[in-house]
């Protein structure tokens, strides 16, 4: 078994694997000694030239919440790379990983004056990370909080923005089994306020190359819709990164280390809407754990 080298981390026999909902999965092939998905996150930090404190921030969160218990997302918005960290605790009011606890953990690195009502039945929350936050040029002024959606016929969640001044609804998410519920997925995509599917073929949204994933998530957001392909293999990850024009250095890193990344399942997605008679991609992201 190899030890961590530089910013790379290698899996041990004790590692457990989760998707971006923190649902456990079995690795595709034997994994011991291969790269953890956190290596992709660390590589993206290095490419972006972010403040070195981000590595201490990750270590501090791991110390407080446990290793492989935090989901990360690398986002591409125009030519800018940003990040988002997601924290789950399905215990809800009996949670151990709470907003209040996280803010206390990260206080040495991130300035935030928000307070959370821990009586609310949220199961997940997230924070946006960028260079200005890490360097101290801005404070953490918003937290995204996710609650369940009882009564939905599929697994579903609602996202709210929490700031000092208000709680505002942001997004609805619906989770579908890609093999069993394809008709429902197509119907959900077509029922959109942002895309005319007579003008934009659904295949331009629900890419045929990605339909072999395990779960497809369709989201309705305030100014656009979004789709996520959950539990895709490394080759579909590469397809996604190239199609979404991620930095060449990042794509090359995945290609060069493909054999060390082929045990993992990945989650990818993008925000979209129709502008004129064309489909506009507003933001994309790929996900792992640390």
Question: Quick one: which of 221, 220, 223, 214 has its CA closest to 268?
Answer: 214
What's the structural domain count of the chain?
1
The pLDDT value given to residue 137 = 83
> What is the span of the domain harbouring residue 272?
38-289
Residue 122 lies in a domain: yes
For the stretch 45-80, what's the b/e string if a residue is b when 16 or more beta carbons lie within 10 angstroms of its beta carbon? bbbbebbeebeebbebbbeebebbbbbbbbbbeeee
Residue 86 lies in a domain: yes
The pLDDT value given to residue 4 = 43
Residue 26 lies in a domain: no
Residue 13 lies in a domain: no
Cα 289 to Cα 280: distance, rounded to the nearest angstrom:
28
Cα 228 to Cα 286: distance, rounded to the nearest angstrom:
9
Query: 131, exposed or middle or buried, with CB in 10 Å at 0-12, 13-18, 19+?
Result: middle
The pLDDT value given to residue 1 = 42
DSSP state of 2: P
Question: Quick one: which of 238, 284, 278 has its CA closest to 261?
Answer: 238
The pLDDT value given to residue 3 = 45
The pLDDT value given to residue 256 = 96
Give the DSSP per-residue string, 68-116: T-EEEEEEEETTEEEEEEEEE-TTGGG-SS-HHHHHHHTTTT-------
Q: Are 68 and 58 in contact (CB under 8 A)?
A: no
Cα 218 to Cα 225: distance, rounded to the nearest angstrom:
8
The pLDDT value given to residue 234 = 97
Cα 88 to Cα 126: distance, rounded to the nearest angstrom:
9
Q: Are 150 and 144 in contact (CB under 8 A)?
A: no
Cα 249 to Cα 252: distance, rounded to the nearest angstrom:
5
Residue 9 lies in a domain: no
> Block means of pLDDT (10 residues each) for the chain, length 290 residues?
64 96 95 97 94 93 96 95 96 93 94 92 96 87 95 91 95 96 97 96 96 96 97 97 96 97 98 97 98
Residue 30 lies in a domain: no
Residue 139 lies in a domain: yes
Cα 273 to Cα 200: distance, rounded to the nearest angstrom:
10
Other Cβ atoms closer than 10 A to 179: 12
Cα 26 to Cα 234: distance, rounded to the nearest angstrom:
15
The pLDDT value given to residue 84 = 98
Question: Quick one: which of 136, 131, 137 has its CA closest to 47?
Answer: 131
The pLDDT value given to residue 5 = 46
Q: Are 86 and 124 in contact (CB under 8 A)?
A: yes
Residue 49 lies in a domain: yes
Report which secondary-structure segment, H or E, holds 145. strand 143-148
The pLDDT value given to residue 134 = 86
């Amino acid at each position: 078994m190899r030890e961590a080298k530089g910013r790379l981390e290698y899996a041990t026999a004790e590692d457990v694997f989760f998707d971006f909902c923190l649902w456990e999965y079995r690795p595709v092939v034997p994994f011991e000694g291969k790269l953890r998905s956190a290596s992709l996150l660390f590589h993206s930090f290095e490419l972006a030239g972010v403040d070195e404190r981000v590595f201490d921030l990750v270590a501090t969160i791991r110390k407080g919440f446990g290793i492989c218990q935090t989901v990360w997302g690398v986002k591409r918005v125009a030519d800018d790379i940003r990040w988002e960290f997601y924290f789950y605790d399905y215990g809800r009011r009996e949670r151990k990983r709470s907003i209040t606890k996280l803010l206390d953990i990260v206080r040495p690195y991130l300035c935030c004056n928000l307070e959370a009502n821990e009586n609310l039945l949220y199961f997940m929350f997230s924070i946006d990370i960028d260079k200005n936050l890490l360097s101290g040029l801005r404070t953490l002024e918003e937290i995204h909080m996710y609650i369940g959606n009882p009564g939905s016929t599929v697994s579903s969640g609602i996202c709210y923005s929490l700031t000092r001044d208000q709680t505002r609804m942001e997004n609805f998410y619906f989770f579908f089994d890609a093999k069993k519920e394809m008709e429902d997925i197509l119907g959900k995509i077509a029922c959109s306020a942002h895309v005319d599917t007579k003008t934009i073929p659904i295949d331009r949204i629900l890419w045929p190359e990605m339909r072999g994933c395990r779960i497809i998530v369709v989201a309705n957001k305030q100014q656009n819709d979004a789709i996520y392909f959950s539990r895709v293999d490394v080759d579909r990850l590469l397809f996604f990164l190239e199609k979404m024009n991620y930095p060449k250095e990042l794509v090359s890193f995945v290609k060069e280390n493909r054999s060390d990344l082929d045990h993992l399942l990945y989650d990818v997605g993008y925000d979209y809407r129709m502008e004129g008679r064309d489909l506009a991609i507003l933001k994309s992201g790929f996900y792992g754990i640390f």
